[in-house]
Structure 1
Amino acid sequence: MGRGHLSDLLRLGLHDLHVSLGGKMVPFAGYDMPVQYPAGVMKEHIHTRTAAGLFDVSHMGQVILHPKGSMADLALVFEALMPVDVLGLAQGRQRYGLFTNDAGGILDDLMFANRGDHLFVVVNAACKHADVAHMRAHLSAVAEVEFIENRALLALQGPQAGDVLARLIPETAAMRFMDVARPLWQGTELWVSRSGYTGEDGFEISVPEARAEAFAKALLAEPEVLPIGLGARDSLRLEAGLCLYGHDIDTTTSPVEAGLTWAIQKARRAGGDRAGGFPGAPRILSELATGPARLRVGLRPDGRAPMREGTAIFSDKDESIGTITSGGFGPSVEAPVAMGYVSAPNAATGTTLLGELRGKRLPVTVTDLPFHPTSYKR
């Protein structure tokens, strides 16, 4: 994006805070976002794995689905948009979801929470306006779809995130992975989930924009907390084996190919009490039964040179069998890591393949995901 387009970028509510903290701002999903701070990507990554990092993810879309009738009616219509059990989600809990299209591809991945009298949905930044239109088109008979534009979204991640947040909001200490709550901080209602995008324990916290800077500064005042930019967010989620929409998953990839079958509960599978009935069900249920033609896998390049998105993958018989969709250096594993799609016969752990790097084909090994163990509070 050239300098002439920078004026078109949206600014985060905390833009001035990022600049004051030394954030290096870059264009991302239409926003001016901090890619790193003076500590640098490597130190920010390791700090998040060992202490606590604060991320501004206010570019994400926050949506409330207010039921016009019962919550059960809303749940049934909402789950008709994805191969996920919405009806079975208990109050005070959050779940990962996927909007699918009629071809079985993924329109977006998202988080949704049952907050008793409504559903709270968080969607990806680049898809948020399309997602809101999609929900309004399909849910208007059962819900009012409210797009929230006056709240920031912060993520506090790392093994010390729980201790830090409990100092400010004691009741968060009792939350488990994927619990949601609406505690008060200095009289302001926060929307908290114990979840994140790093593989570490942590929280995502929605806070009214007018209070966001004060809350962010209160967290940053804690000795364990450093501000973390997009660079480390990407290396952390890659080590954790987590998909980035538009790269590892998109409208052409099915949830089964993407290795996201854990997100398709038994109730929505063949033989379940609410099997099928979602866009792309014939393809998705067929792939669940017989396996897909290709699979997302972890890949470990030999040597120290990272293999990045777009790198072509070949079998040892010189066949073109796939492509890397995310790749870089993994600071916690001290080696290059990547994810990509390869043909199913070449997807077994331990298979040696070849990645084409600057005209040379170099060995890369199919590896189990995640590259770095997760540490969620169960």
Structure 2
Amino acid sequence: MASLDPLDLFDIQSQLSEEEQMIRDSVARFVDEKALPLMAECFDQGRFPKELIPEIADLGLLGSSLEGYGCAGLNGVSYGLICQELERGDSGLRSFVSVQSSLCMYPIHAFGSEEQKQRWLPDMAAGQVIGCFGLTEPHGGSDPANMKTHAKRDGDDWILNGAKMWITNGTLADIAIVWARTEEGIQGFIVEKDFPGFEARDIRSKMSLRASVTSELYFDNVRVPDANRLPGVVGLKGPLSCLSQARYGITWGPIGAAIACLKEALDYTADRELFKRPLSSNQAVQIRLADHARRITLAQLMSLRLGRLKDAGKVHPTQISMAKWNNVRMAIDIARDCRDLLGGSGITLEYVAIRHALNLESVITYEGTETVHQLVVGRELTGHNAF
């Protein structure tokens, strides 16, 4: 019998269409040839590789699942595969594309006026305008309903006050999609970076997502024209629907990180000799590697099924929560264990495991902590809200 692909034991690739495989392979080449040579240095220096944005845009990866306005109009599985390959490079790369696509372009596409769509989406798809998403607040975390940022009408404008925390792309962004409490309910606003009273500051001294921009946003009597208000939604369903889009991509991304760690561990244990035999001939090592492959396979099957449900218009937020919980937990456990299999070498940036393990500490926290997603599933099972 032919040998199986150790990174795809159930031949899940055969369940992808020719277009889906082509998209995955093109992003994989970009990651291998352009991104990976930079990522260890970027992580070490604490900088996002902005020089990659033009090629990311040229590949059609920004707003890839949206229709029209210069967007590629790909299906959900293709978007998932994009996230998988980008995070195989680094969580910071996938976070950049995820925020731009799911948290900034999506709400303009879903809730914006035609004028807003025409003004912003083509330039965002081309990487000429970068966005960030302002929902999380310093005191709020997992409780977005406890929002303090507010906007009050003033003639044809709104006066915006408040602060947002842990904002990917914040100081990189040209616009911020900011959610604020109003007398009518929570609404979204497109806040442009040159509006007086708007300030973005980088969060420094991070030990995770170092190759990503993370910021604080401050709004001090920022005057926002009503033309910059997203007219198509009022209430938390607006930002929560954006989070569902982003969380879907996150179910795929950590699979890429886990695959990168497993491949590295397979290569290392095959080459490393200890007690006159390769590490890979050791039973304890094989059991650990086999468990990694099992968990990656289960995550691959879960995300593929989730993608097919999404493309059929049948996906449920609880299913996204279960996949996010399962797949990020899978990846962080594998990254940590692969770091251990590498011994002392595993603590250096010459290898990818420590970088992925540290990044995944953020991924398991943002877009809903592991506990939040467990409680979402628990609520579905029991009918009781334990938040």
Higher percent of residues as helix: 2
TM-score range normalised by the length of the shorter chain: under 0.3
TM-score (norm 1): 0.27
TM-score for the superposition, normalised by structure 2 = 0.26
Identify the structure with the greater strand proportion: 1
